[in-house]
Amino acid sequence: MTAPAGGAPLLTVEGVVKEFGLRRTLGERVTRTPAEGHRAVDDVSFTLRRGEILGLAGGSGSGKTTLARCLVRLIEPDAGTIELDGTDVRAARGKDLRELRRRMQMVFQDPYASLNPRMTVGTALHEAGRVHSRPGSENAAQFVREALERVHLSASAAERRPRELSGGQRQRVAVARALAVDPEVLIADEAVSALDVSVQAQLLNLFLDLRDELGVAILFVAHQLAVIAELADRVAVMNQGRIVEIGDTATVFGHPQDDYTKALLAAHPRPDMGNRASVAS
Ligand SMILES: Nc1ncnc2c1ncn2[C@@H]1O[C@H](COP(=O)(O)OP(=O)(O)OP(=O)(O)O)[C@@H](O)[C@H]1O
Ligand SMILES: [Mg+2]
């Protein structure tokens, strides 16, 4: 089932724009000056290929989360096209939108955002599969066991509630919940950023396994360049709502062309591309 990295385009994004209105000052309200929009995402285009991990880097406020949320229509973009394997994401309504959201799953920095604190892990995993009528979800115990295995958690985790798990375990459950509905794309927004370095490394290995074994394409949003260097096949760098540079990770980090990428790299500990072999093994 190994999917070659850099396969056919799966998610195609073109000219996406998201503006947030700024509040008007009292003076502007008195003079009826219209509020100016702030372009959080400004004409962004890229493709995510089957079976690849695309890193999305950029400083705080550069628009990474806003872009990620636009892709799954958690917020509505103002312009642009988003296609998942030829299906127009922006035009989808009702049942079609639900199906697209199944196919593109998000994993957040805070796993509590996607896990109900009152539900046991097993119930949450089974519910996710049942709601979307996933094959195998009729047999709850087995469905849950397999979902936990996929993220290398023991079956006993099924009985626990989110707060009874460590941060790393909880994030694995969030990933398992996303995978329980058989997505083609995972969008991870700072999914490992709050974890300590050793737990982070284990999760990065998990993401690599998911790409290789399930062939799932991953958009991996992270402000830590070292994490992206270890994980991503390609990287896109965002600044002030725009993608300023995109390409093969080793090339972009090794020979940055854009001034902002250069500044970003200079401000971070140099990502060590040599780590990739050890993480991947
Ligand atoms: N709901 C909102 N209303 C108004 N402005 C917003 C909203 N969400 C985000 N913004 C603004 O859009 C810009 C981009 O924010 P975003 O959260 O996408 O950045 P980010 O790259 O994810 O940053 P970080 O690395 O800190 O997570 C920021 O200027 C932010 O203040
Ligand atoms: Mg963010």
pLDDT category, 34, cuts 50, 70, 90? low
Beta-carbon-side half-sphere exposure of residue 130 (alpha carbons within 13 Å): 12
Between these two residues, 278 and 59, which has the higher pLDDT value? Answer: 59
Q: What percent of the chain has pLDDT over 70?
A: 92
Q: Is the dihedral angle over the CA atoms 8, 44, 53, 258 positive or is it negative?
A: positive
Task: Using the mean position of ligand 2's atoms as its centre, give its distance from the Cα of residue 66 in Å.
Answer: 7
Q: pLDDT value at position 1?
A: 39
Q: pLDDT value at position 129?
A: 95
Residue with tokens 């460590």: 166
CA distance to 137, 141, 153, 164, 174, per residue, from 118 (Å) = 21, 19, 20, 11, 15
Torsion angle in degrees (nearest 10) through CA of 220, 225, 231, 233 = 80
The residue type of 42 is: D
Ligand 1 pocket: which residues have CB below 6 Å?
Answer: 20, 40, 58, 60-66, 223
Distance CA 241, CA 227 (A): 21
Task: Using the mean position of ligand 1's atoms as its centre, give its distance from the Cα of residue 26 in Å.
Answer: 24
Task: Using the mean position of ligand 1's atoms as its centre, give its distance from the Cα of residue 18 in Å.
Answer: 10
pLDDT category, 2, cuts 50, 70, 90? very low
Task: Using the mean position of ligand 2's atoms as its centre, give its distance from the Cα of residue 63 in Å.
Answer: 7
Residue 274: pLDDT above 80?
Answer: no
Residue 207: pLDDT above 70?
Answer: yes
| Ligand 1 atom at shortest distance from the alpha carbon of 58 | 21
Residue nearest to atom 22 of ligand 1 (CA): 65
Closest ligand to Cα 63: 1
Collapsing DSSP to helix, strand or coil, 130 comes out as helix
Q: What is the pLDDT of residues 4-16, one digit of tens each?
A: 445 789 999 999 9
Q: pLDDT value at position 6?
A: 54
Residue 161: pLDDT above 60?
Answer: yes
Q: What is the pLDDT of residues 244-261, one digit of tens each?
A: 999 999 999 999 999 999
Quick count: other Cβ atoms within 10 Å of Cβ 115? 22
CA neighbor of 191 nearest in space, from 113, 114, 115, 108: 108
pLDDT category, 166, cuts 50, 70, 90? very high
Distance CA 83, CA 47 (A): 10
| Ligand 1 atom at shortest distance from the alpha carbon of 223 | 25
Task: Using the mean position of ligand 1's atoms as its centre, give its distance from the Cα of residue 240 in Å.
Answer: 10
| Ligand 1 atom at shortest distance from the alpha carbon of 21 | 4
Identify the helix (H) or strand (E) that includes residue 219: strand 217-221
Residue of 24, 42, 65 to mutate, ligand 1, most atoms within 8 A of C-beta: 65
Sequence-distant (6+) residues with CB within 8 A of 95 are none
Q: What is the pLDDT of residues 94-130, one digit of tens each?
A: 999 999 999 999 999 888 878 899 999 999 999 999 9
- Please, what are the domains in the chain? 9-85+185-280 (3.40.50.300), 111-183 (no CATH)
Q: What is the DSSP letter of 213?
A: I
pLDDT category, 139, cuts 50, 70, 90? very high
Distance CA 220, CA 228 (A): 8
CA neighbor of 182 nearest in space, from 155, 216, 207: 216
Prediction pTM value? 0.91
pLDDT category, 35, cuts 50, 70, 90? low
